[in-house]
Structure 1
Amino acid sequence: MEPGKLEATLIGTLIDLAAVRADTPGCENLIFLDSAGSSLTPRPVREAVHNHLRLEEEVGGYRAAAMRSDELLDGYEVFASLLGCSPDEIAFSDSASRSWLSALDAVPLDPGDRVLVTEVEYHSNALALMHLGLRPEPIPSLPSGVVDESAFSAMLDARVKLVSLVHVPTNGGLVNPVGPLAAAARSVGAVVLLDACQSLGQLPVGLDGVDAVSGTGRKWLRGPRGTGVLAVRGLTPRLIDGRAALWESPDTYSVQSNAKAFELWEYGVAERLGLIAAARYALDLGISSIAAEVSARATLMRQLLGELPGISVHDLGDERCGIVSFAVEGHDAEDVRDYLWDNGVAVSVTYDTSTQYDMTRRGIEKLVRASPHYFVSPDEIARFVEFLSRLKPRVE
């Protein structure tokens, strides 16, 4: 059996495709291939958000939050299960960037300290480091795109105080190894921050071996926008508010001894309840099953795209995930995105401004990014490829 056809037969074997599509009204009239951007929320997430907003309408925000206190507290257990850690090591935030920045701010860094990053470092992380006056040092990659572990080991010394690992980049299907890199970094006393923005919800990811994991709700986890999570161990925030500490007397206060010290007092309660519902939904399906189903779709898509003349797939990695990046000869990425949208297909465009080290190294300015989740059918992937086959060469 041909590889693409083999992958198609795997789709729906671990997750009930009809059931998850029934939970996802948005996919009824749209071939949705943008879960790496902001995915379609399933019905339980929508209901959690809408129900709480209705409750706030009836009793006000404070009373509504108090009435949901048990569910909000349960969220720490839910995410501890998802990230393989203790509930006391979970903090909620409004985004992956907020989580990552909070963890960064807790790392004691001095002038002269070295910071190592992967070549697929995300722009928000790199910009934050540079704005602090630090000089991120990209770790070389192997030809496959994964971090060169030997080169990484050679770069490590006592002056390396922080290593930022991007598990999955924003611009392609690469999956970087985490375990051996984190162990090597911690052997010289470096703090390890794992950016799981594109892996949380589509791949197994956890706190073991690293000091902090940051993630978002809106992508593969299928939660609401404006939600994020931070799993953190052994770090204490510099900036705090009334959620993080108790003002005990005019001159004394005490900071929470757990990850909640990283949280802010004010947050969107409805959105957080939706985030917790999204994590429960993923756990019920099984992260390993999600990873296999998503990988099968992406593999099928790469296979079919590779059969079309004029299309080049640009994904790196020995192991690849659900992000498929490609270019269409003679067509700007934005034009391809807009053409597909006009035909009922949602994709996005990824730019070199988001991953300067990697895109500059490869001489790429922008790519079309397709990211099929487990609710996408094989037929939809075939139709997406068929639409691309109809693109006519541009006439100058």
Structure 2
Amino acid sequence: MGSVEFEGLWDPEPGWLNTASYGLPPRPAWEALQAALSDWRVGATSWEPWDESTIRAREAFARLVGADAGDVFVGSTVSAALAPIATALADGSKVLTDDVEFTSNVFPWKVHEDRGVEVVAVPGSELVAAIQPGIDLVAVSAVQSSTGVVLDLSAVIAASKKIGALVVIDASQALGWLPLTVDGIDALVAHTYKWMMSPRGATLGYLSPRLQERCRPSAAGWYAGADVHGSYYGTRMELAPGARKFDQSPAWFSFVGAAPALELIEQIGVETIHRHNLELANEFRAGLNLPPSNSAIVSTSLPGAQEAFEAAGIRAAVRDGKLRASFHIYTTLADVHEALTALKPLT
């Protein structure tokens, strides 16, 4: 799908530079959600047609990350998705993370400190060097939320493999624009409401077969059953094979919106989105006299930037005291130039 074909699939108000906070729905996702809400309002259908979207989203996610759909589970939040992995860690395990890691990939490990699990945080530039014997698990984001720094994933995987450490990746700020696969990764979890442009409440994750064997599906409910319709009542439990036993009962409408959005990302192509996003992010960086980067997120200290953006109607974010602007497939060159014009008096 070329750029001309997909340009009209979004309806952004000019000046939206905040996809790192939440993405804007493409028209197929928005329309599917409105149709489901209309059916819900009048009781026009059972829930099974909505649940078909969960299956479609699982399969699209698996294709995006190069995984088998049988190794993909569904849920609602990143932290809840990571909880079974944290519970499976042995007492006294050591977890390594980035010192600016988003807490959804920190707190699930830290709540086990009472049984000796230790979370060690180092600056991102020192992370690979810190993957040394004694580290049991590396928990880190593929792209950092506050800074936009893109992880050297291959280096992290190689260093972790040498010492037998597990690799757990939060891809919430990466999937949808950054090409990556699960090769060499033990767990990859991502919420879809940012770069995958879906409603909040649809999280998907990959669990390697070896990690599935180590983890207890402690949040198992009827939806984790081998036969969901046969798992409503009673004490007989037969859980689904593969990663589906880790499913949390899905928020139907979130997945109704997620399935078309994920499928559209496939149609456009992550490489195409990646190229588009970096071109605009680096155009913005050049206008601020910053060197080019490999990230769709630009983080910079510029006193007065937040006020200048607000006055011009530009919607971005401030994270860790810095201006954070993020550029996605619906961002235009006009958005970039409008933002630079607003900041020009400050540069």
Question: What is the TM-score of this pair, normalised by structure 2?
Answer: 0.87
Residues 155-166 of structure 1: pairs in structure 2 closer than 5 A: 155-157=132-134, 160-166=135-141
In structure 1, C-alpha distance between the alignment counterparts of 2:85 and 2:63, rounded to whole Å: 21
Aligned ranges for residues 138-287 of structure 1 at < 5 Å?
138-139=121-122, 141=124, 145=125, 147=126, 149=128, 151-153=129-131, 155-157=132-134, 160-234=135-209, 235=212, 236=215, 237-245=217-225, 252-265=236-249, 267-287=250-270
What secondary structure does 1:345 align onto?
A: coil
1:108 to 86, 89, 93: 89
Look up the match of 2:279: 296
Task: Indicate the residue corresponding to 1:3 in structure 2.
Answer: none
The Cα offsets for residues 252-277 of structure 1, whole Å up to 9 and x where unpaired, read as 52322221212223x32121021111
Calculate the aligned-residue CA RMSD, in Å: 2.5
Partner of 1:323: 297
What is the CA deviation profile of residues 86-110 of structure 1, one whole-angstrom value per residue up to 9, with x for unaligned ones? 11111121233333334433x3321
2:86 alignment partner, SS class: helix
Counterpart of 1:375 in structure 2 is 330
C-alpha distance in 1, partners of 2:205/2:21? Answer: 19
Which of 114, 123, 145 does residue 103 from structure 2 map onto? 123
Cα drift, residue 342 of structure 1:
3.5
User: Does residue 47 of structure 1 match 2:31?
Assistant: yes
Distance in 2 (alpha carbons) for counterparts of 1:180 and 1:390: 41
Match of 1:24 among 3, 7, 10: 10
Contact 1:163 1:191 in 2 (8 A): yes
Measure how far apart 1:251 and its partner are.
5.9
- 1:198 deviation in Å? 0.5
TM-score, reference length from structure 1 = 0.77
What is the CA deviation profile of residues 119-142 of structure 1, one whole-angstrom value per residue up to 9, with x for unaligned ones?
34222322332222132113454x
Aligned to 1:347, which of 307, 312, 316? 316
Instruction: For 1:220 and 1:178, locate their aligned partners in 2 and report how far apart those are by CA, in whole Å.
Output: 19
Deviation at 1:301, TM superposition (A): 0.7
Output one character per residue of 1:321-371: Cα deviation in whole Å (capped at 9) or x when no partner.
100011223x3xxxx3354133221101112xxxxxxxxxxxxxx101000
Q: Mean alpha-carbon deviation: is it higher for 219-228 or for 239-248?
A: 239-248
* Whole-angstrom distance in 1 between the partners of 2:328 and 2:59: 25
Paired with 1:68 and 1:252, the residues of 2 have a C-alpha distance of 27
1:217/1:225 contact within 8 Å kept: yes
Q: Distance in 2 between matches of 1:174 and 1:104?
A: 25
Q: 1:76, CA displacement in angstroms? A: 2.4
Percentage of identical aligned residues: 22
Per-residue CA deviations over 1:364-392 (Å, capped at 9, x if unaligned) read: xx101000112212122111111112359
Q: Secondary structure of the residue that 1:325 maps to in structure 2?
A: strand
Q: Deviation at 1:69?
A: 4.6
- Structure 1 residue 99 and structure 2 residue 84: aligned? no
Q: CA deviation at 1:70?
A: 4.1
Q: Distance in 2 between matches of 1:249 and 1:274?
A: 29
Q: Is the 8 A contact 2:17 2:315 kept in 1?
A: yes
In structure 2, how many angstroms separate the alpha carbons of the residues matched to 1:210 and 1:248?
A: 34
* Equivalent-residue separation in structure 2 for 1:15 and 1:292 (angstroms): 12
Cα pair 2:193 2:202 within 8 Å, conserved = yes
Contact 1:167 1:176 in 2 (8 A): yes
Q: Structure 1 residues 248, 122: CA separation in 2 closer, same or farther (over 3 Å shift)?
A: closer
User: Does the 8 Å contact 1:243/1:264 carry over to 2?
Assistant: yes
